[in-house]
Amino acid sequence: MNTTIGTMPEYLTRYFENNNLIGPASLKQIRKDALARFEVLGIPTTKHEEWKYTNLAPLTRSEFHPALYHTLSKDVVVNDLIAGKEVILLVFENGRLNKELSSFDNLPKGITVGELGDNFDHPAVVKNLAKHASFENEAMVALNTAHIFDGAFIHVAENVHCEKPIHLLYISGGEENTLAFPRNLMVAEKNSSAKVIESFHSRGNESSFINIVTEVVLEENANVEWSKIQLENSNTFHISHTECTQAANSNFDIHTITFGGKIVRNNLHIVLDGKNITSNLNGLYVSNGDSLVDNHTLVDHAMPNCLSNELYKGVLDGKSKGVFNGKIFVRKDAQKTNAYQSNKNILMSDEASMNAKPQLEIFADDVKCSHGATTGQLDKEALFYLRSRGIGEEAARAFLTIAFADDVLNRISNETLRDELKNRINERLNKSN
């Protein structure tokens, strides 16, 4: 494998020892192993095949540090309650749980939502934490794993349906160059269901670096909808890895929506490890300025009779860059697999660019797979049609762009969240006009 070692800024591991004082011995060992692995792998450079278009060099040029104090007030957070107020809420300020602003008390029986660090002895944590997201070949997962402490733990017991959405709200800023390593673990037991919203915000224009890893485990017949919403400022480095393991008959919907950030890298790995699984992967990125949004997805069909459906759409303006790399593995035993993938992009300016790479590796013979990637401008015929009815050029462009994006947003089941995102995209597209 490729072990291109990049430069390794000292600040990244400066806090390791301190962090590793807490937790059971087994976890301390995991952190140590992860650190050792990270020191071998180093920060990926663009020589690394999987990081070809995503240059992390800016991370090595300035220093980031964990923020020490909570300074956030309730009225700031209110604006970021994008899924409404009727939620189980964990607010993470610069990666660290702010209990005062959160509300996760008096949860119904069978539902645990809280700080990961408070739950290290929970059997589901012992069983699953760091057992799914492998750091062997993933430097940024290794870096995060070396710092496991902050983050959310969600557990939904067998046959329990969590009615209220669970909102993990991450907000950074208040000072410059903050650093956070959030680690989330969700376990949905047999026949359970839940909806999780993970949203990311900035207070002002402060620069920040977030290196986050989330493990989601769906046991048999569990049903989880996960919305990852990135709304940070244009000085944010967001490197994330989401690893989902699904058991038989489970259903996982994930929406990855990116409206902000300077460099955003989202790894999404889904392992379909049972029969009759459904996975829906939806993505929408709307970028401008000189930002970069890189989505790397991997759908691993290990067992027969499963369905995965992937739709990623991008609207790129200014000098922004988009990357989509979608891998689908269909292993030998995964007969009767249906796997679909589609990536569609609109370039709104001459200087915006997109790199799309679908990769299908199919080892079973009785499967239905399709993939397609398109990048282009808005449909000229459609633009003319709208204008010929009296709609101005800019409004017509916004009309078509919003329709393009709504195709993804309409798949989000939470109406409050969906409408909020539609409003934001409306505002943004009409403002640039």
Judged by CB under 8 A, the residue of 140, 222, 400, 425 near another protein is 400
Q: Which stretch binds another protein (CB under 8 A): 220-228, 318-326, 360-368, 382-390?
A: 382-390
Q: Which stretch binds another protein (CB under 8 A): 63-71, 105-113, 134-142, 393-401?
A: 393-401
Alpha-carbon torsion (227, 50, 271, 147), positive or negative = negative
Judged by CB under 8 A, the residue of 392, 415, 427, 433 near another protein is 392
At closest approach, how far in Å is the CB of 423 from another protein?
15
At closest approach, how far in Å is the CB of 344 from another protein?
11
Q: Should residue 132 be labelled a site residue for another protein when binding is judged by CB under 8 A?
A: no
The smaller minimum CB distance to another protein, of residues 24 and 392, is found at: 392
Judged by CB under 8 A, the residue of 22, 58, 385, 433 near another protein is 385
At closest approach, how far in Å is the CB of 48 from another protein?
37
Q: Should residue 106 be labelled a site residue for another protein when binding is judged by CB under 8 A?
A: no
How large is the greatest C-alpha to C-alpha distance in the chain, in angstroms? 70
Q: Which amino acid is at 196?
A: V
**How many Cβ atoms sit within 10 Å of the Cβ of residue 158?**
14
Which residue matches tokens 């459904």?
278
Cα angle, residue 400 at apex, residues 397 and 403 outer, rounded to 5° = 145
Judged by CB under 8 A, the residue of 349, 403, 413, 427 near another protein is 403
At closest approach, how far in Å is the CB of 237 from another protein?
33
The smaller minimum CB distance to another protein, of residues 109 and 380, is found at: 380
At closest approach, how far in Å is the CB of 391 from another protein?
5
Q: Which stretch binds another protein (CB under 8 A): 8-16, 20-28, 328-336, 374-382?
A: 374-382
Q: Which stretch binds another protein (CB under 8 A): 52-60, 241-249, 375-383, 422-430?
A: 375-383
Judged by CB under 8 A, the residue of 136, 163, 290, 393 near another protein is 393
The smaller minimum CB distance to another protein, of residues 54 and 343, is found at: 343
Question: Which residues are CB-neighbours of 48 under 8 A, at least 6 positions away?
Answer: 2, 4
Own/partner long-range contacts of 15-23 (Cβ < 8 Å, ≥24 apart): 15/66, 15/147, 16/146, 16/147, 19/146, 19/147, 19/149, 22/117, 22/149, 23/117, 23/120, 23/148, 23/149
**How many Cβ atoms sit within 10 Å of the Cβ of residue 153?**
24
The smaller minimum CB distance to another protein, of residues 369 and 386, is found at: 386
Q: Which amino acid is at 155?
A: H
Interface with another protein in residues 338-367 (CB under 8 A): none
Judged by CB under 8 A, the residue of 10, 61, 365, 390 near another protein is 390
Nearest to 182 by CA among 218, 145, 207: 145
Q: CA–CA separation, 331 vs 257, rounded Å?
A: 29
H or E segment to which residue 430 belongs: helix 415-431
**Total site size for another protein, rule CB under 8 A:** 22
Angle, helix 393-409 to helix 380-387, in steps of 10 degrees: 120
Q: Should residue 382 be labelled a site residue for another protein when binding is judged by CB under 8 A?
A: yes
- CB–CB of 246/277 below 8 Å? yes
At closest approach, how far in Å is the CB of 234 from another protein?
28
At closest approach, how far in Å is the CB of 401 from another protein?
10
At closest approach, how far in Å is the CB of 229 from another protein?
21
The smaller minimum CB distance to another protein, of residues 108 and 392, is found at: 392
Query: Rounded to whole angstroms, what are the CA distances from 286 to 196, 292, 377, 429?
Result: 22, 10, 14, 10
Q: Should residue 386 be labelled a site residue for another protein when binding is judged by CB under 8 A?
A: yes
The smaller minimum CB distance to another protein, of residues 91 and 402, is found at: 402
Q: Should residue 404 be labelled a site residue for another protein when binding is judged by CB under 8 A?
A: yes
Q: CA–CA separation, 147 vs 145, rounded Å?
A: 5
Judged by CB under 8 A, the residue of 399, 411, 416, 419 near another protein is 399
Q: CA–CA separation, 96 vs 335, rounded Å?
A: 44
Which residue matches tokens 């079973």?
364
Query: Rounded to whole angstroms, what are the CA distances from 236 to 285, 313, 380?
Result: 15, 21, 35
Q: Which stretch binds another protein (CB under 8 A): 256-264, 290-298, 326-334, 380-388?
A: 380-388
Judged by CB under 8 A, the residue of 384, 423, 432, 433 near another protein is 384
Q: Should residue 312 be labelled a site residue for another protein when binding is judged by CB under 8 A?
A: no
Question: Which residues are CB-neighbours of 135 under 8 A, at least 6 positions away?
Answer: 34, 37, 38, 141, 142, 144, 145
Interface ranges with another protein (CB under 8 A): 379, 381-382, 384-393, 395-396, 399-400, 402-404, 406-407
